[in-house]
Amino acid sequence: MNANEIPKIHTPSRTTVSLALGSGGARGLVHIGIIEWLVAHDYRIESISGASMGALVGGIHAAGELDAYKHWACALKRSDVLRFLDFAFSGNGLLKGDRIMDTLRAMVGERAIEDLPISFTAVATDIERQREIWLASGPLFDAVRASIAVPGVFTPYEYQGLTLVDGGLLNPVPIAPTFRDLTDMTIAVNLNAESDDRPIASPPRRPAGTEREAGDQGLQARIRQFLDSIGDDVGAVGTERLGVFDLTTRAFETMQNSIAAMKLAAFRPDVLIDVPRDTCAAHEFHRAAELIELGHRLADAAMGARED
């Protein structure tokens, strides 16, 4: 070896990844399993863009606290959702969303997006100007709160003079923010894929009241009955007339399905992981464990097919 030469140090290379995590309510818990699979198989996630639940899960992972969120989510029961129902009592949304955001801030800590170890962009919709907004700086949970503001469910979020709602309204699978990345590959997760007609995570029907604690009275008991009826309506097949909540949710998802198909036709990622839209209902956050496991299986199938 020449005395002036610098010896080469051989280090194992790791595939760097940009993730585009889609919107889809509780189906977004699948993102946790996909991220876990990638990390376990030595992929290095360097960039995440997310809409709605994709922004929530992606932002928490970018902050390094996905394990804490996973354990919290897996401990939730259907009845626990009551603790996060902070009704807005206004005409522009059912819930304020402050309780869930306060819980996440306590769990993760408030972070500035620009200080995160992983590049992160939350996608929201400027409802007044009817345009897509990319939030890549500022407080993490302000960006997440804006991105999850499903119209009619959460009140719009006022941020830097803008009125922002759910990013899935215009971009359910936000691949475009990853175009600036210098990573080896882009993986997109579409939570609004066509069904393959096989039951994936269908919960058993429960008798009414099986999760109600003794002593429920008044407004709390009526809220429980309301939530149970939503679950029954979504799980029902065929002929029953849709309630207002169910109709609104399905209408929003129908729109997202169409937009997601167009976006994916225009911007093809290196790997697309499809999650059938009938995997679970948008509100079924109590099914975290099975949805995370589904994420493991879907990632293994998609990435295994690529490696083959």
| Among the listed residues 218, 183, 192, the one whose alpha carbon sits nearest the alpha carbon of residue 13 | 183
Sign, CA dihedral 68-70-73-75, equals negative
Instruction: List the structure tokens of 186.
Output: 């882009």
Strand partners, 186: 18
Rg of the chain over Cα atoms, rounded to whole angstroms, equals: 20
Q: What is the 3-state secondary structure (H, E, C) of the chain?
A: CCCCCCCCCCCCCCCEEEEEECCCHHHHHHHHHHHHHHHHCCCEEEEEEEECHHHHHHHHHHCCCHHHHHHHHHHCCHHHHHHHCCEEEECCEEECCHHHHHHHHHHHCCCEHHHCCCEEEEEEEECCCCEEEEECCCEHHHHHHHHCCCCCCECCEEECCEEEEEHHHCCCCCCHHHHHCCCCEEEEEEEEECCCCCCCCCCCCCCCCCCCCCCCCHHHHHHHHHHHHHHHHHHCCCCCCCCHHHHHHHHHHHHHHHHHHHHHHHCCCCEEEEEECCCCCCCCHHHHHHHHHHHHHHHHHHHHHHHC
Catalytically active residues are 52, 166
